[in-house]
């Protein structure tokens, strides 16, 4: 932090600003500095030097987070690049690595927010910048985690050929004979559908040979 920002700050206020610059929440900064959050809100409202120091602290944290995100992103991309270009890697692992890149989350679906509002005109821009940096940080961590899992899965469970399916042998199954329809009585409707009684329609007609042999 710039030494000129300490000019109008008490030791407790300086500790709060330094704590926020390291990425601590406002509640944690209050506890570690021995002051209450209400006191910090009052300082932000009434002390312009303290407000300027807090803004500077947030910018320092953003710069630190940006550097970390760049380092993690470079490592994750190098790992993905190596997997995609390595012909010895199993195709399924390379496909998952490619999908990890293509299906990565996109801003602003998720965002990082300060734990407490400071009601300063520059907060909106600072929050947006922090959200972008935090999202990029999570994106790099997500890609690295996916790569670790898919590489581990590819080494521990190599693909195997599926076992051939066996079908039951139906050659010895015999077809059960179908029993003929019972012969209707004389006064029942004729099964031929003529609407006449059986005795006046098909009773005296010759029966099929299959029915005669089964009867």
* pLDDT tens digits for range 26-41: 888 888 888 898 998 8
Q: What is the pLDDT of residue 21?
A: 75
Q: What is the pLDDT of residue 118?
A: 43
Instruction: With beta carbons less than 8 A apart as the criterion, state whether 30 and 17 touch.
Output: no
Asked if residue 142 has pLDDT above 50, the reply is yes
Instruction: With beta carbons less than 8 A apart as the criterion, state whether 133 and 66 touch.
Output: yes
Nearest to 136 by CA among 61, 69, 77: 69
Instruction: With beta carbons less than 8 A apart as the criterion, state whether 202 and 189 touch.
Output: no
Q: What is the pLDDT of residue 111?
A: 41
Write out pLDDT tens, residues 47-60: 888 888 888 888 88
Return the minimum-mean-pLDDT range out of 15-19, 28-32, 109-113, 161-165.
Answer: 109-113
* CA separation for the pair 114, 29 (Å, rounded): 13
177 — pLDDT class (breaks 50, 70, 90): low
* CA separation for the pair 76, 83 (Å, rounded): 11
State which of 88-92, 131-135, 185-189 shows the largest mean pLDDT.
88-92
211 — pLDDT class (breaks 50, 70, 90): low
Write out pLDDT tens, residues 74-117: 888 888 888 888 889 888 888 888 887 777 665 555 443 344 44
176 — pLDDT class (breaks 50, 70, 90): low
Q: What is the pLDDT of residue 186?
A: 78
Cα separation values, 6 from 15, 36, 56, Å: 10, 20, 11
Instruction: With beta carbons less than 8 A apart as the criterion, state whether 3 and 40 touch.
Output: no
DSSP label at residue 157: S
Cα separation values, 189 from 179, 181, 202, 212, Å: 21, 14, 10, 21
Q: Can you read off the two tokens belonging to residue 117?
A: 């509002």
* CA separation for the pair 110, 139 (Å, rounded): 10
């Amino acid at each position: 932090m710039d030494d000129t920002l300490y000019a109008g700050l008490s030791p407790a206020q300086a500790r709060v600003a330094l704590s926020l610059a390291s990425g601590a929440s406002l509640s944690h900064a209050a506890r570690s500095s021995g002051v209450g959050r209400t006191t910090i809100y009052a300082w932000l409202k009434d002390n312009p030097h303290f407000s300027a120091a807090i803004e500077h602290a947030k910018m320092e944290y953003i710069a630190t987070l940006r550097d970390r995100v760049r380092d993690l992103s470079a490592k994750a991309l190098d790992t993905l690049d190596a997997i995609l270009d390595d012909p010895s890697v199993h195709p399924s692992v390379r496909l998952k690595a490619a999908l990890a890149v293509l299906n990565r989350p996109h801003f602003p679906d998720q965002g990082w927010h300060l734990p407490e509002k400071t009601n300063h005109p520059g907060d909106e821009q600072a929050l947006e910048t922090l959200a972008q940096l935090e999202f990029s940080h999570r994106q790099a961590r997500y890609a690295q985690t996916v790569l670790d899992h898919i590489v581990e899965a590819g080494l521990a469970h190599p693909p195997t050929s599926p076992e051939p399916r066996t079908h039951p042998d139906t050659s010895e199954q015999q077809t059960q004979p179908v029993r003929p329809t019972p012969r209707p009585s004389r006064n029942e409707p004729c099964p031929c559908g003529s609407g006449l009684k059986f005795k006046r329609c098909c009773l005296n007609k010759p029966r099929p040979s299959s029915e005669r042999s089964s009867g």
